[in-house]
Structure 1
Amino acid sequence: MTKNLLALAIFGAFAGAAQAQSNVAVYGAMDIGLIKATGETLAIGRGDNNKLGFKGTEDLGNGLSANFRIEMRFEPDTGTTESGGRRPLFQGRSVVGLSGPFGSIKLGRDLTAVQDPIGDFDPFGFQTVGSLDAILGNYSTDPSYAGSSGNRLSNGVYYSTPSMGGFQVNATLASKEGLNGGPQLNSNPYSLSATYANGPLATLVGVERSTAEDKFWTVSGAYRVGVANLIASYSRLNRAVGVKDTNWLVAADIAVGVGSVKVGYGQVKPENAGANKQVSLGYWHNLSKRTMLYTDATRRKPAVGDSSNAFDVGIHHTF
């Protein structure tokens, strides 16, 4: 009996040490609301991606840690996996890597060095009908996934330097291998960015080559003045076929009590064509740190054809 108690005590001590050195968490988001767009019936939909993920860190000692993260998407109104032809189960993220004094390196599928920080320069954060088209324009990092937002690369290596006074350099390089039996790519997709975030100022400078060999570069900045975060972004898309797009936007995210008013205007202008214009307005109300109510409206005016409107109201909860 004494030996059994001693064995249990030793096992418990080791288990406690392992638990202290490792951390695994379940996280996610639920977003659902009502959406009405011109020419469409009122529908139950989502403003943000609904996700379920697992992430963990293991302390390896001497400042070195092992990390992993996997994240899947689903439709909130039906409970099915996300529709639209997005084929990977863990299409959101699927990476494992190491971090330490050198920064962090990971392998797998994730947001690229440009696509990860660029959402900070859309006051709607790529969420809701208000999301400004001009933040990316007609660009897609990986257009091979039909129905996908195309802002991730598979078979990639991701590196970020340590943050030095708010300044950080990020790099992504993907292999040429074809996906789902497709042909091998002609060149390696890559993404490079330099970001700065310190005090009231945040900036992003980035360049990226897609799986279709389109090249996208952007310069974006935000500056906080009192309760308002003022945002501007300019980008160019040089398509492999020779057509160029120019995108720009101006926006603001203004704190109002426990919520925020979001407003923005942007243009996407293909070469030798008129500009596609968009204006958006929204209000997001925080009920807690994890739950908010939102409502947004947007109007798009294409260079050719009729204008269209969209409106939403919904609830967003993170866990």
Structure 2
Amino acid sequence: MRTTPKLKLAAVAALTALLAPAAFAQASNVQVYGRVDLGLRKVTSEKLAVEPGSGNRLGFKGVEDLGSGLSAFFHMEHRFNADTGASQDPFWTDVSVVGLRGGFGEVKLGRQASPIDMATGGGYEVYDGDTVGASFSRAGAGETKWANSVMYTTPALGPVSLAVGSSLKESTGAEANSYGAALTYLAGPIKASVALQQNHDKSDSVGFGLKYSGTGWRIYGTAARTKDIGGDDGAKQTDLQLSGGFDVGTGELRALFNHSKLDDVKTRKFSVGYFYPLSKRTFLYTDVARQKTDDQKSRNGIDFGMRHDF
């Protein structure tokens, strides 16, 4: 059978179409991950309910080696309510960024954690913001997610790195652009961060976080304050959080204290819980908590749940 140039061209095109996805997969390291976390929860004055214990999620992240020490990366994470199947808004509510990384450090653009969240976020709390036992406020009313943002992080300077960035107000109706910086120290058992940030309403936030890991135990703490909430001469909020995790049996015993003061109104929370691993990715947990705000009745909560990561 005689092969014409057109047939040869068609064969090459078909082969290219078949091999292109494989070539792309080799060039880009893409990871798919997620979590489903549900349990029974009962809170004062509320009915017994099936509730998410943490942020149920589906995420994608990847890196492409561009050569000469330069790489491109992306990270997107969707959050949803596993009890109903409903999506959270925005769809990529936790993170949606693209960036470049190299010897100069890292630059990323999109929706991402703010500097105040870098210093007071879930990594500085034993519950990581999850279950009925988690703190109700750590960032002192500072913005924890930045949309329309750009962030630059220096390469590690010994144990220290610095992140600086801004979230543009664009056409959102915000009063001003938000900007700030977070300095992080990481060496051995100690991780600590401090952050300064101006929010979109021109309020000013400062935050600090600390984690210290020992043999069989971990201690976490955060402190944050925001003044002029809502504009000049606005409200002031101060948050404090102290928590710890202790190896007991094959699981972790957790305890937390959270204190928040909004102007002259104080709220306190105490909680204790136990996380039991069935495997490296599957956990059973239970927590009890008590929260009290000045001149209001106490709110008590209890949960029993299961978490699976993939």
Q: TM-score, normalised by structure 2?
A: 0.88
User: Helix, strand or coil: the match of 1:94?
Assistant: strand
What CA RMSD, in Å, does the superposition of the two structures yield over aligned residues?
2.4
How many angstroms does 1:109 deviate by?
0.9
Partner of 2:235: 243
Q: Which one-letter code corresponds to 1:133 in the other structure?
A: F
- Per-residue displacement from partner, 1:181-202 (whole Å, max 9, x unpaired)? xx2x332111311111221111
Q: What's the % identity of the aligned pairs?
A: 34
Partner of 1:60: 66
Distance 1:302 1:258 in 2: 35
User: Structure 2 residue aligned with 1:201, among 190, 199, 203?
Assistant: 190
* Greater share of strand: 2
User: Helix, strand or coil: the match of 1:114?
Assistant: helix
Distance 1:230 1:69 in 2: 29
How many angstroms does 1:20 deviate by?
2.8
**Does 2:251 match 1:262?**
no
Give matches, 1:1-319, under 5 Å: 18-82=24-88, 86=89, 88-117=90-119, 118-137=121-140, 139-141=141-143, 151-179=144-172, 183=173, 185-239=174-228, 240=231, 241-271=233-263, 273-319=264-310
Contact residue 122 and residue 135 of structure 1 kept, 8 A: no
Q: TM-score, normalised by structure 1?
A: 0.86
Distance 2:142 2:306 in 1: 28
Distance 1:165 1:261 in 2: 34
Q: Which one-letter code corresponds to 2:87 in the other structure?
A: T
Distance 2:213 2:129 in 1: 20
Change (3 A) 1:18 1:282: same
Distance 1:100 1:169 in 2: 15
Partner of 1:144: none
Aligned residues: 299
Contact residue 113 and residue 158 of structure 1 kept, 8 A: no
How many angstroms does 1:281 deviate by?
0.7
Change (3 A) 1:191 1:312: farther
How many angstroms does 1:212 deviate by?
2.1
Distance 1:238 1:119 in 2: 22
- Larger radius of gyration between Structure 1 and Structure 2: 2
